Amino acid sequence: MNTDGASRGNPGHASIGVVASTSDGRVVERINRYIGRATNNFAEYSAIIAALELAVKLSAKRIEIRTDSELVVRQMTGRYRVKSPNLKALWEKAIRLSMSFEKCVFKHVPRAENTEADRLANVALDSALGKKRSPRTV
């Protein structure tokens, strides 16, 4: 699962993008959704939760969540505490969902390895805000 959250304004208009793939790289589902006004970190957690919920729906046993948010990965793996009360409930939900799997790994990836999830989040934002993207990115 590749995930990304986007926020224009931080806080501002926000969205998520998720790409679910098999271990051999075959894309099985994509999610892109406008989530309203939120911070970037709220959007990142919302994307992770959407990916985890999708993985439960798909009856996945072992998953890897890949995101370009180093902060969120460090919080999900216990290296950093979640200090923001606004994020604490999302973090708790993500932790609960992650326990649904035999194995759940959170991995930080460079932005260049997360382009499809980023694109999906931006398409959702552009659609919600009435902007058009070039045909290559839709």
pLDDT (0 to 100) of residue 65: 98
Helix axes 85-98, 40-57, angle to 10 degrees: 20
Please count the structural domains in the chain: 1
At residue 137, the pLDDT reads: 43
pLDDT at 62: 97
pLDDT at res. 133: 56
How far is residue 8's CA from residue 52's CA, in Å, rounded to a whole number? 24
Closest CA to 103 of 51, 53, 62, 44: 62
Q: Supply the range of the domain harboring residue 133.
A: 2-137
The model carries a pTM of 0.93
Name residue, tokens 């894309």.
27
Q: Where are the alpha helices (DSSP H) in the chain?
A: 40-57, 70-76, 85-98, 115-128
**CB 17, CB 4: distance < 8 Å:** yes
CATH of the domain at 63: 3.30.420.10
pLDDT at residue 99 in the model: 98
- Spans of the chain, pLDDT less than 70: 132-138
Cα dihedral 107/29/51/36 (nearest 10):
120
